[in-house]
Amino acid sequence: MTERASGEAWTMSRGYARLLALPLLFLAVFFAWPLLRVIVRGFVDPSPGLANYIRVFGDGPYLKVLWNTVETAAVVTVLCLAIAYPVAYVAARLRGAWLHLAAAAVLIPMWTSVVIRSYAWMVVFQRQGVLNDALLALGLTDTPIRFLPGSIAVHVGMVHIMLPFMILPLIANMRAIDRTLLSAAAILGANPAMAFLKVFLPLSLPGINAGVALVFMTSLGFFVTPALLGGPRHMLAAVLIEQQANQLLNWGMASALATTLLVLTLAIYVFYARITGGAAGAGAGR
């Protein structure tokens, strides 16, 4: 009887496995094939060779933009972690109405269009904007400060968009941490700071890893925020690629830049997939 059941299970799982064919075919045609074309195009357009890559990695504006992209992503990730960690620490302990309120504060911005949020930041940072009004009123400055276009606005806008993606994995992780361990540490003589450093922080590392990888990877591909708030002086890779392809019709260069960005992102994704054990479930939303 058991043998029969396992035989049944075998055919059943084989039937299920066949369901993968159609989604994989779809992804092969509309995901893998386009990516392959981008990669190939970087080497053959306008002429076969490494010309595009020599220009990307030669001393020109391109390498500077790529470096600026990595640096901005790193700064945004660190800022998000620094802000999200204490927030998650508090939020993970909430219950009832406060928990719902915290969830709303995190989820509502996540559900607000990225384009709209960048628009709001333009209103905040413009010359006669909310921020300048406040600074003038407080007497912190005599003349309005020019924030747009500028890197402060880009960083604030990006941190705002990425913050929920750092907070959510951290909360998920911290809610699973048994806080009686902290009491145990206290009973054994650790002061609260010590208990936090030696017990809580190490236990929250998986959440930190997931959040950092997710935020860093997503930050590398940002387009709307830097395009609207950064201007030409604070250009990021996605803005440059769009410009090369859509406006300058330099598709070879755009493809070489995109391939570089792809390799960078994939390296982080592989790392992320490894630390979260394959199934990426933390980043639902964007």
Query: Minimum CB separation from another protein for residue 121, in Å?
Result: 7
Taking CB under 8 A as the criterion, the residue among 3, 269, 271, 275 binding another protein is: 269
Q: Does the protein bind another protein through residue 189 (CB under 8 A)? A: no
Closest CB to another protein among 9 and 54? 9
Interacting residues with another protein between 43 and 72 (CB under 8 A) = none
- For residue 216, what is the enclosing H or E element? helix 205-220
Taking CB under 8 A as the criterion, the residue among 65, 76, 79, 163 binding another protein is: 163
Taking CB under 8 A as the criterion, the residue among 64, 133, 179, 201 binding another protein is: 133
Closest CB to another protein among 106 and 208? 106
Stretch that binds another protein, among 1-9, 52-60, 135-143, 169-177 (CB under 8 A): 1-9
Query: Minimum CB separation from another protein for residue 56, in Å?
Result: 15
Taking CB under 8 A as the criterion, the residue among 44, 50, 115, 201 binding another protein is: 115
Q: Does the protein bind another protein through residue 183 (CB under 8 A)? A: no
Interacting residues with another protein between 197 and 216 (CB under 8 A) = 214
Query: Minimum CB separation from another protein for residue 161, in Å?
Result: 10
Could you tell me the CA-to-CA distances from 200 to 54, 80, 84, 134, 176 in Å, in that order? 48, 19, 15, 39, 11
Phi and psi torsions of 250, nearest 5°: -95, 75
Cα–Cα distance measured from residue 217 to residue 263, given in angstroms and rounded to the nearest whole number = 11
Cα–Cα distance measured from residue 65 to residue 237, given in angstroms and rounded to the nearest whole number = 6
- For residue 147, what is the enclosing H or E element? none
Stretch that binds another protein, among 55-63, 100-108, 135-143, 203-211 (CB under 8 A): 100-108
Burial of 46 (0-12, 13-18, 19+ CB in 10 A): exposed
The number of C-alpha atoms within 13 Å of 267 and in the hemisphere containing its C-beta is 8
At 282, list the tokens.
């933390």
Applying CB under 8 A, the site for another protein has a residue count of 99
Contact 227, 96 (CB under 8 A): no
Cα–Cα distance measured from residue 66 to residue 25, given in angstroms and rounded to the nearest whole number = 33
Closest CB to another protein among 59 and 105? 105
Closest CB to another protein among 59 and 244? 244
Closest CB to another protein among 46 and 192? 192
Q: Three-state SS for 50? A: coil
Stretch that binds another protein, among 48-56, 139-147, 169-177, 185-193 (CB under 8 A): 185-193
Nearest to 117 by CA among 30, 38, 222: 222
Contact 230, 150 (CB under 8 A): yes
Q: Does the protein bind another protein through residue 23 (CB under 8 A)? A: yes
Query: Minimum CB separation from another protein for residue 98, in Å?
Result: 10
